[in-house]
A and B are shown apart, each in its own frame.
Chain A
Amino acid sequence: MIKFKNITKKYGQQAVVSDISLRIEKGDLVVLIGPSGCGKTTLLKIINRLVKPTSGDVLVNDKSIFDYDEIELRRNMGYVIQQTGLFPHMTVRENIEIVPRLQRHNKKAIAERSAELMEMVGLEPNIYLDRYPFELSGGQQQRIGVARAFATDPEVILMDEPFSALDPISRLQLQDELAELQRKLKRTIVFVTHDMDEAVKIADKICIINNGSIAQYDTVEEVMKNPADSYVEGFIGKNRIWSSPQLIQVKDVMINDPVCIYDNATIRRSIEKMRAHKVDSLMVIDKSNTLLGVVLAKDMQLVQDKRQQVRDVMLLDFMTVRPETDIVDVINIVNNGSLSSIPVTDESKALKGLITKSSLLTTVTQQYIEPKETVS
């Protein structure tokens, strides 16, 4: 856990970081993002004491970074920078092993760890360990950079625009791999970037920085759905959410008050209700709002005895989705299923809402329709 307490950094009179307080939970990947010169890199370097703050404190695991031995603090934090920071005169092995060797760890253990790290970043140890950085591609070099950061198995890893200098293909690959790695290892990672797509892809939480202050600090979903101010909105870009539709959940687009009917109502009553609300299906629920089934208009028409209760004729075999399901999955379900609408239920089967083809269509097409100017 990393906690910034009123951190300010001034160069002369110019405040690069002003009074930032921030709490990064253990195991979270937090992206510090903002335009160049906004102070994000400075903020990162304050954590491993490469930059000394003018005032304020940073706690790592509830202990001030200034109470740690500087060298120890850094050795327990991985550090990856944009230009890889690899030592050109050392082989890949020497680069990865430099800190463990300085700590005089067991040689055999170090060698085993190196092979392990190479596997972890997807490079064949036998081929690459004894090469020099200049013999590797940019993407491979940065993989080594990442491997080196993990060498001492640190709990905290700091990454300063690690993928910015790579070609787009390597960049995407490395982003995917980092996300995958983080899913497995659950380290506390502080990641600096200016690339919103990158942030959305890998972050648990995003901290948008503007002129040395936090503009918004929240989960990716929240930042996208509810930008704190026009700056954040401008920064993340309009309709940004459509570049990652998996962030849109059922609860964001569902109809909250679907037309329902109790299970003991008659078929006649249900037909009337459908007519009144101009719908072709009803959700059948009991008194405690638990979804029991669905009745369709076309089935009701065929029933001779209109006095029968809906519970006897309702459909029992249908798909439901959870409020947290993402919209991509829902579209798949709608495509494959026979129903034109899908009930939304929580884990106790209580009815929460309804997704219909038309509500999906509205959501999906929203991005193409210019929002009307609203007068307030």
Chain B
Amino acid sequence: MNLLEFIFSHMDDVLARLLQHIQTTLFSITISVLIGVPLGILISYIKPFKKPVLGVANVVQAIPSIALLGFLVPFLGIGEKPAIFMVVIYSLLPIIKNTATGLSTIDEEMLEAAKGIGMTKFQVLTRVKLPLALPVIMAGIRISAVTSVGLVTIAAFIGAGGLGYLIYSGIRTVNTNLILTGAIPACILALAVDGVGSLFEKVTTPVCFRNNKKERRDKNEKINT
């Protein structure tokens, strides 16, 4: 039986696994963003926290994913729970780092002006800093999202399901078709997530940072003359 026929005959199963894979990834990324962005904001304001927080995130990143999973099972059991935990931990670093970097590279004089015209700290954060840092933060989230797709695949090893399940089953039964049936959609999913991420990045980029500046200027010039 060739690969395509195999995939089509297992279409229902593949789709169900894919859906589950997407769900786990999305859920994990949402949690990472909810933890990572506030942490990034925190360390950009409270400088002494910066080193320890980034340090911990870095060290966690260095642990092999399989080892981390093995370590988690005694505490969280098997299934989705430890999988999500692992994905969250791994995707935190790029999000925290990019949030902090994005926030701290904003022109100091402009921020002082914002303060000087009477904006509160919170207003400066929400109306000036975050919108300007958004493209950098989004880039971090995009990196995390793509890595997460791969990590969820590995998590099938501890019974988290998803496309990784097909791959493991294929490896155990030495069924190349089955391996590819899991691997190919996983690759496509990763690329798709990257694509969606880049789209988000574009949409959230303030007009002033976009590449169409020149076009806008030319258009204005036409109106003026």
Contacts of B123 on A, CB cut-off 8 Å?
Answer: 102
Give CA–CA (A78, B113) in the complex, Å. Answer: 10
When the two chains form their complex, are residues B119 and A50 in contact, meaning their CB atoms are under 8 A apart? no
Q: What are 27 A-B contacts defined by CB distance under 8 Å? A: A48-B116, A71-B118, A74-B115, A75-B118, A79-B113, A79-B116, A81-B109, A81-B112, A84-B113, A86-B110, A87-B110, A87-B114, A87-B127, A87-B128, A87-B132, A89-B132, A89-B206, A89-B207, A89-B209, A98-B119, A99-B119, A127-B223, A132-B207, A133-B208, A134-B208, A134-B213, A135-B216
Residues 95-121 of chain B: 1 if any A CB is under 8 Å from the residue's CB, otherwise 0?
Answer: 000000000000101101111111110
Give CA–CA (A177, B116) in the complex, Å. Answer: 23
Closest residue of chain A to B224, judged by CB? A127
> Among B107, B120, B127, B217, which residue has its beta carbon within 8 angstroms of that of A71?
B120
CB distance from B1 to the nearest CB of A (A): 56
Closest residue of chain B to A72, judged by CB? B118
CB distance from B103 to the nearest CB of A (A): 14
Provide the main secondary structure of the chain B interface.
Answer: helix
> Among B114, B207, B224, which residue has its beta carbon within 8 angstroms of that of A85?
B114
Contacts of B116 on A, CB cut-off 8 Å?
Answer: 45, 48, 50, 74, 79, 81, 85, 158
CB distance from A156 to the nearest CB of B (A): 12
Q: Which residues of B contact A (CB under 8 A)?
A: 107, 109-110, 112-120, 123, 127-128, 131-132, 206-209, 213, 216-217, 220, 223-224
Give CA–CA (A72, B110) in the complex, Å. Answer: 20
Q: Which residues of A contact B (CB under 8 A)?
A: 45, 48, 50, 71-79, 81-89, 98-99, 102, 127, 131-135, 148-149, 158
When the two chains form their complex, are residues A81 and B208 in contact, meaning their CB atoms are under 8 A apart? no
When the two chains form their complex, are residues B119 and A85 in contact, meaning their CB atoms are under 8 A apart? no
Contacts of A84 on B, CB cut-off 8 Å?
Answer: 113
Contacts of A79 on B, CB cut-off 8 Å?
Answer: 113, 116-117
Give CA–CA (A85, B115) in the complex, Å. Answer: 10
Indicate the member of B123, B127, B209 with the most A CB atoms within 10 Å.
Answer: B127
Contacts of A131 on B, CB cut-off 8 Å?
Answer: 220
Give CA–CA (A131, B123) in the complex, Å. Answer: 23
Give CA–CA (A137, B2) in the complex, Å. Answer: 65
Contacts of A50 on B, CB cut-off 8 Å?
Answer: 112, 115-116
When the two chains form their complex, are residues B112 and A89 in contact, meaning their CB atoms are under 8 A apart? no
Closest residue of chain A to B121, judged by CB? A71
When the two chains form their complex, are residues B208 and A88 in contact, meaning their CB atoms are under 8 A apart? yes
Please judge, given known A-B contacts A132-B207, A133-B208, A134-B208, whether A102 and B119 are in contact too, CB under 8 Å. Answer: yes
Give CA–CA (A131, B220) in the complex, Å. Answer: 9
Give CA–CA (A87, B132) in the complex, Å. Answer: 9
Closest residue of chain A to B109, judged by CB? A83
Contacts of A98 on B, CB cut-off 8 Å?
Answer: 117, 119, 127
